[in-house]
Amino acid sequence: MDNRRIIQKSLDYIEDNLQTEITAAELAEMAHISLFHYYRLFQQATGMPVMQYIQRRRLLHGVYAMRQGSTKIDAALSFGFDTYAGFYKAFCREFGATPSVFLESSRAKRPYRIDITKEKYMTVTHKKAARILKHWNLEGETITDIYYEGTGNKNENACYVGERYVLKYTANLGKLKKHIEVSEALHSIGLLSAVPVPTADGAEYISDGELYFYLTRRLPGGQMVSHRFADGDGRFVGEIIGQLHLALHKIEDCVSEADLLATVRDWALPRTKAALNLSDAFCKEYLGAFSALYPDLPRQIIHRDPNPGNIICAEDQWGFIDFELAERNARIYDPCYAATAVLSETFGQNNGGWLEIYRDIIRGYDSVAHLTEAERKAIPYIILANQFVCVAWFAEQDKYAEIFEINKRMTKWLIGQLEVLKDI
């Protein structure tokens, strides 16, 4: 099973049982792995030790209970503390403020339910962003929203700060630390990368309630845009993903292990089958072919979200942003994802033209990273695997009904093109 889903089951259990005693040994036993291995997987996924995570969630829920009218002592007792004094000391250590100051600053919101298998979007007002920016002495800078040029959608996890910076925020410390480590490693070998700007106190990030904030400089150049692809752009995308993989291959393991086959088999395909009314015969044939190829696919750290909007091109440099989703997975996933990301922004306009872009991306990647025979055969199945994951994910997001419908149509079309996709 995908390690993220193993830990997600633990996070769900923790969230539902914060008012009872929970031990790491109990969670490891529930996950059917050794305690030592569990500690490593948990910290890798969340960015902090398991018992610190549990205490942090109890403190957040406890202070929220106070905001809802609970007495201090009742809130402390309800969430595992013997005295309010114990709650108070733990809260100050964890958040750098007393519960009263936290409440007065209106930070005691209902805690987000953490889901490390899905991207979560948080609402951060410009007023709050200005308060956070005091840590970088930038509170007087103009704050503006970010919109993706390719889709017009608002980025709900970041905002521009003046002309030079970007403020990013997440509820998942593990993802933030992953982005920092990968970005700094790529920056060290000369690639454009959004490394953190230290705070006035020299910290790479700061926490405020359950959210974590970090600042990066805006990179020179601009994002690639799918609907403006010119001749050669597909080849260029494939080549720079190949170059990225050569660089990532040198980085020590700082990410979680992903099992794309298990994700598709156990979650994505069953949900897509229901949404698209796929036949049993097709699903059986697809899983049989993918299962046979998957064990032989080379694995390494991948970006996991190399859509054109995350590729930055300057006059004589290029690079990638947003490594929060980086993981160890089949390396061919990235060029396949890039191809389907282009299709998602142009679907219905020139699907035949996209097929050539798809071939160019794969050929460009192959010229740098050199595909194995198993990868060549697996590419069409990974293209579909990505779509199954997209359909399953958007099916659970009410706010993305239009994108869900586009991805359903895309998936049906790609299934019909399966034999064509094999021709690279």
Q: Convert the pLDDT of each residue in 86-129 to its tens digit.
A: 999 999 888 888 888 888 876 667 887 888 776 555 668 888 89
Predicted confidence (pLDDT) per residue in 293-319, tens digit:
999 999 999 999 998 888 877 766 777
Q: Is 33 left (phi over 0), alpha (psi -120 to 50) or beta?
A: beta
Predicted confidence (pLDDT) per residue in 214-264, tens digit:
999 887 767 676 555 666 788 989 998 998 998 888 776 667 788 999 999
> Does residue 53 surpass a pLDDT of 80?
yes
Distance CA 202, CA 338 (A): 36
Confidence tier at 165 by pLDDT (50, 70, 90): very high
Q: Is the pTM of this model over 0.85?
A: no
- Token pair 């920056």 is found at 187
Q: Across the chain, what does the average pLDDT equal? A: 87
**Predicted local confidence at residue 220, as pLDDT:** 75
Residue 244: closest CA among 181, 318, 299, 296: 318
Compute how many other C-beta atoms are within 10 angstroms of the C-beta atom of residue 266. 13
Angle at 258 between CA 253 and CA 259, to 5 degrees: 140
